[in-house]
């Protein structure tokens, strides 16, 4: 990577050192606010996302309602900077490649005549994490989710201003490099999807058909199960397992005698999470260990089945207790995708989603002899661990590429790397 010959301290924390010949300007010397409104609302409706920047609403898969009329929406021209005032702290901004209209709640800024300005350059610059942090710092509000970036505060931010020739060269270079990185990420994500689908098919076929490919089959009369070996049966969940729901517990920030972590979903899902609250219950029935399985009873993720960790059940989750004489726990765990899928099809109604115990208790499960359950579980453990390892490796590659993408954009738009024109 080539660097510029000389650098200077920009005096701006989010920019750091910049090429010596670049100027540093407040946004008020680069942009002016535009508040021109649409007379009839017939123009293309634009929306702003922290992921895709400014895009036509028609290209987005959103469920939010449309207003009865878009008369009075703000006019936006190609090259204008559009910021979602309420979501600036998340990076919901970008420069527009379209002529259209946007929500009156957005702020629209246009470059001042005579100032060197490539809107593609500023799209890259202003969507860097460092700039987003600077916007957040200057936003007003009590809590993060309610922060607002008002024009007077946006105008206070200092920004780098290379020559128009350099801005154009930087944007062109990044368009090419980022496109290459994004293609690689897309291909790796497709591979991830392929292996995840392969994993799901492998589990579904094995738990329903067993390991003997030549066994005689019969119709299970259950749609999701299909045909099963002739000597197998079908049993309802409640015939071999029950659930023990957690209780309302008091949480503390520090551990104390006999205390254990509060089993939050984040803690259960991610081994790297160190949960900061602790609790205790004299009830042994809601004590959970690593060999237990958990099902989410209330809230987001309802019906999800997870490996347990040592701790106490809160009221939003339940422990699955199986009869080991009737079902091998690891075999049941491999059925979880089908159980979860069925539970998630039940309408949640208004308010917080709750698990429907009737549906869970009556969920039909293929029931092989115990020795086959053990063999199937061991086989799937081995096969899925290999697939999981491949997927983990691919996700690491994706993470590395995304970090490279972020670093490359930041270093090029702030002059840490020189682009040859």
Per-residue pLDDT tens for 349-381? 567 888 889 999 999 999 999 999 999 999 999
Number of domain units in the chain: 3
Question: For residue 372, what is the domain's CATH number?
Answer: 1.10.287.1120
pLDDT one-digit tens code per residue, 264-312: 888 888 887 777 789 999 999 999 999 999 999 988 788 999 999 999 9
Residue whose entry in the numeric block shows the structure tokens 């209209």 = 101
Question: For residue 362, what is the domain's CATH number?
Answer: 3.90.220.20
- The predicted pLDDT at position 59 comes to 79
Q: What is the distance between the alpha carbons of residues 193 and 394, in angstroms, rounded to a whole number?
A: 11
**394 lies in which domain range?**
164-213+368-421
142 and 127 housed in the same domain:
yes
β-pairing, 17-19 vs 106-111, is unpaired
Q: What is the distance between the alpha carbons of residues 179 and 172, in angstroms, rounded to a whole number?
A: 11
On average, the pLDDT of the chain sits at 92
Q: 10 Å Cβ neighbour count for 351?
A: 6
pLDDT one-digit tens code per residue, 147-200: 999 999 999 999 999 999 999 999 999 999 999 999 999 999 999 999 999 999
Encoded tokens for 212: 């003997």
* Per-residue pLDDT band at 421 (split at 50, 70, 90): low
33 and 157 housed in the same domain:
yes
Among 335, 350, 367, residue at a domain's last position? 367
- The predicted pLDDT at position 273 comes to 76
**pLDDT above 60: residue 348:** no
**pLDDT above 60: residue 69:** yes
Q: What pTM was computed for the model?
A: 0.82
260 and 283 housed in the same domain:
yes
In a domain, 146, yes or no: yes
The three-point CA angle 326-329-330 to 5° equals 135
Name the residue with higher pLDDT: 255 or 80. 80
């Amino acid at each position: 990577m080539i660097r510029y010959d000389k650098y200077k301290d920009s005096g701006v924390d989010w920019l750091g050192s910049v090429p010596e010949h670049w100027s540093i300007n407040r946004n008020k010397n680069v942009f002016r606010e535009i508040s021109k409104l649409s007379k009839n609302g017939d123009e293309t409706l634009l929306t702003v996302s922290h992921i895709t920047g400014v895009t036509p609403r028609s290209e987005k898969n959103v469920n939010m309602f449309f207003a009865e009329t878009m008369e009075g929406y703000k006019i936006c021209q190609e090259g204008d900077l559009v910021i979602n005032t309420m979501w600036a702290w998340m990076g919901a901004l970008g420069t527009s490649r379209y002529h259209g209209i946007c929500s009156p709640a957005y702020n629209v800024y246009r470059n001042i005549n005579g100032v060197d300005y490539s809107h593609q350059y500023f799209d890259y610059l202003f969507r860097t994490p460092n700039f987003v942090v600077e916007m957040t710092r200057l936003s007003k509000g009590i809590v993060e989710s309610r922060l607002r970036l008002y024009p007077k505060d946006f105008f206070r931010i200092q920004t780098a201003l290379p020559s128009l020739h350099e801005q154009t060269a930087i944007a062109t270079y990044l368009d090419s490099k980022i496109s290459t990185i994004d293609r690689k990420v897309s291909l790796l994500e497709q591979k991830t999807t392929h292996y995840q689908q392969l994993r799901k098919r492998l589990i579904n076929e094995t738990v329903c058909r067993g390991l003997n490919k030549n066994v005689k089959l019969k119709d299970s009369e259950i749609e999701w199960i299909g045909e099963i070996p002739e000597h197998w049966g079908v049993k309802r969940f409640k015939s071999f397992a029950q659930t023990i729901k957690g209780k309302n517990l008091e949480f503390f920030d520090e551990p104390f005698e006999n205390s254990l972590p509060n089993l939050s979903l984040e803690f259960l899902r991610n081994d790297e999470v160190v949960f900061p609250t602790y609790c205790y219950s004299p009830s042994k029935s809601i004590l959970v260990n690593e060999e237990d399985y958990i099902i989410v009873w209330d809230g987001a993720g309802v019906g999800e089945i997870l490996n347990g960790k040592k701790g106490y059940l809160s009221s939003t989750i339940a422990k699955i207790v199986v009869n080991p004489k009737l079902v091998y726990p690891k075999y049941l765990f491999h059925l979880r995708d089908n159980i979860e899928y069925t539970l998630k099809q039940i309408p949640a109604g208004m308010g917080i989603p709750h698990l429907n115990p009737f549906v869970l208790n009556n969920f039909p499960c293929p029931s092989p002899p115990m020795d086959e359950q053990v063999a199937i579980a061991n086989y799937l453990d081995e096969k899925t661990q290999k697939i999981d390892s491949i997927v983990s490796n691919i996700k690491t590659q994706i993470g590395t590429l995304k970090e490279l993408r972020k670093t490359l954009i930041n270093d090029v738009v702030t002059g840490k790397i020189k682009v040859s024109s």
